[in-house]
Chains A and B, each alone.
Chain A
Amino acid sequence: MIPARETDDGRNPGAGATAGEDREMRAALAEDSAESLYENAPCGYLSTLPDGRIAKINATLLQWLGLRRDDVVGRRYFSDLLTVGGRLYHETHFAPLLRMQGEISGIALELRAADGTRLPVLVTSVVRYDSGGQPLLIRTTVFDARERRAYETELLRARREAEDERRRLQRLTRTLQATLLPPDLPEVPGLDVAAHYHIASPDEVGGDFYDLFPLGAGTWGLFLGDVCGKGAAAAVMTSVARYTVRAAAVYASGPSAVLADLNTVLVDRYRMHDPRFCTVVFGMLTPDASPGSFRVTLASGGHPPALLLRADGSADYVHIPGGQLIGLLPRAHIASAVVRLDPGDTLVLYTDGLTEARTAPGADERFGEQALLDFARRLGPVTAAEAVAAVRDLLDTLGTGVEDDTAVLAVHAPRRSVGS
């Protein structure tokens, strides 16, 4: 606390400065002329001609540089005061930008002092023009940035570290994703199969999965599903779903029973702490009596309808109404349907990353099931590889509108060549 004082003229000391303080301030300011402020300011001042030749420099900056005024004024150029790297930066960035914009601020450079030491500084320059609009003079302030530079170096180091970590995470994500998918689809006698997995974000593991595998006696199982959410938790559920379906397919009595088993396992595992669910379509392929044809029994738990592209170029959804999400309810209803795959027909399973894709980045409109059906109808009869390639092109066209991972699996009964 400052004690209250009696003033010369009896004024209330709280109303303003005392005469004593006035005198103190006047005396102090007498020492602080504009000239002295310029010369001894706590920053460097510099005036240069438009070509960079130094016309004026303050004492502070001369002291930092360890140079005498006579060695500098009229003799040196601003860029002479910089390190060589700084000079390159000055000539390629600083000077052109200053010339074009008339000012440039906060540029990090390093001064090289007479004794060879380096001083990190922040430089701001403004061009002063004559009445004809021609550059007359460049005024520059130079701030000591040693502390600041140490802090920035730390920031840069942290950013590099973060970038390295991100790359590591992406590698890990790719590896983990790969373990959730079959490395290659097996060869299925009499069938043509193809699949594709589209990764929407390199930073997160998606929750889509598919597989195709033999069940013995010419029968094949296939499935494709989508776990809600992304990241590690979704990856765990994907893994559980995958091996549960593979195991259940061996002993369960049919596709609906496989999904019912999966539902039981997931509900049991997740209901208490982390309600999570997935949508799955499971199919069993068996050769039909008619040569080259297959009978496909499909069971669906809340999954978007499969597409059936016929040999005659027509296309339709295989709607399986009534199937409920897997892993949510203790006794989910599973719906099923049977389709025939005749020579030339192609069955396409996909996840909703495709139909839920935005038609343009940031747009409200989604691609939707109708657009996908129209797309399939334009495609005409295709092989499995052609169908998957067409979907990949479609995903490319939708670009960043595809916000979620998308899996697609196609099976095609080849046309029978003459004589076979």
Chain B
Amino acid sequence: MKQILHIFSNDLRRLRIEILLSIVAAALFAWVVPKSWMGGTASTGNPYQAIAGWVNPLVLLSWGLLIARLIHGEVLVGDRQFWITRPYEWPKLLAAKAFFVALLVYLPFLLMQLAILLQAGFNPLSYIPGLLYRVLLISLVFVPLVGLAAATSNLVRMVLPMLGVYVALVAFLSHRDNGPVTNKFVQYGENAAIAVTLLLCGAVIVLLYARRRVLVARLLLGSTPFLALLAYSIGIRSVSMGRAYPPATQTEPSVIRMIPFEQDEASRVAAGRWGASEQNGFHNLDAKKWATIKVKMRVSGVVAGDRGQLNAFRPTLTAPHGAPLELDWQQGQEIFEATEAPNQIQYFVLDFLIPRSDYDRLKSSTLTLHLDFALTQASPARSWRLPLSERDFTIPDLVSCSSQEERQGDTLQVTGLVCSYPLGMPVMMSLTTFPTKGPCPAVPAPAGDPAAGTSSTVGDFYAAPATFGISPMEGISLSFPGTYNTTYSGARPVDSELSRVCPGTPVVVTQYRKVRAEQTGVTIENFRLEE
């Protein structure tokens, strides 16, 4: 212990300027981030937002510099260093460096998180798992930096391979085939990549401190980003859907039912065609390799007040005389709620990718499309009712929001909410408001008609407890545009009236709990792909 403290105190003396710089940067960040929320995160006139944007990389840079200078104090590469023929014991040297990083990098990082959380009105004690997960995530920067510093002899030699790996990764990612990605399982891939990165970098650090095996360490370090990517790909494909979403059985049938959208129903809404289309929302897609299929579906069985979430789906296409083409599980994003209005049909469009060669092979046939769905059923757990006003409001342990108002002619209306939540995406919650027909009245504010509430649902039951970053607060925007309520006679619209959300209208925030995760399926016969 004496040797650890001796090396530590020597590093403290040597790096006093770098330490001061990093603490000032962290303190500045903790001070400026809450200031940047003034007027809501969507506010464009707030100069603190720009300052926060500049301080953010400065904080990371100051920590990176501190780590590099710390490790290079006892350079592990080369054979001329003074210290290698002195009675340093490598576990103690490593422990001294780890203690330094814990005390002067991790602790300020954690204190910064706590300070910002407190200023945002959240109790940090409620977020201990999220904070710990965030520490793990930030280790994805710090641990490889320690490894890289240990494998190099100075700052310049450390930065050059970083740039090299960055360029290689960018080139790799921009040229890779962006086929179907089951984004809902990103978490599994991320966990695998995090584990591989930390494990390999940890091995590099120990290898260098214990044996000073520079060549092996550098090879391991250079391969880490690519092995992490590999672990990510394996991770997202290794999810057992049967275990995560047990198939519905006869004794326990699926509550939420997915129903193909019928042709005659299509005439009642002004949207799309039945069948296939190649327009899609997939980015960076190689159109020569992939084709997009869109299928319109509707949902039934969601109990009033509950929510249903489509987490993933898997399409299987079968031609009359061919083997079934079973595709990978793909991402679903939709959240469903019960609709009571007789003339409203809730539908959604699934779009998915299939290889272009398969598309071309199958497009002349009449197909059977089978869709498996991974669904989550959620019920309300807690709710809060608050008036929408200019002031910010905070739902304890959940979300902090401020309303955005806009004057349109004579009337002031609430156009949306800008909310921030701590560390990671919260579990599913809905914000229900009550639009008023016609112009917004002056004070007193309308009480709102509970039957006419419109809601937005956000959140995720499967999100990680924290996301990567140095500010613990994340933001989402919910807009309340003026909407036209249309009534129909058969398929013909007969009346239309503008509804808007007025200041003072109550907002009901509802937090949901997961009731059941299940797998269900639907088969569509006579399915044809567009020529």
User: Is this pair of chains taken from one and the same complex?
Assistant: no
Enumerate chain B interface residues (CB-CB to A < 8 A). Answer: none
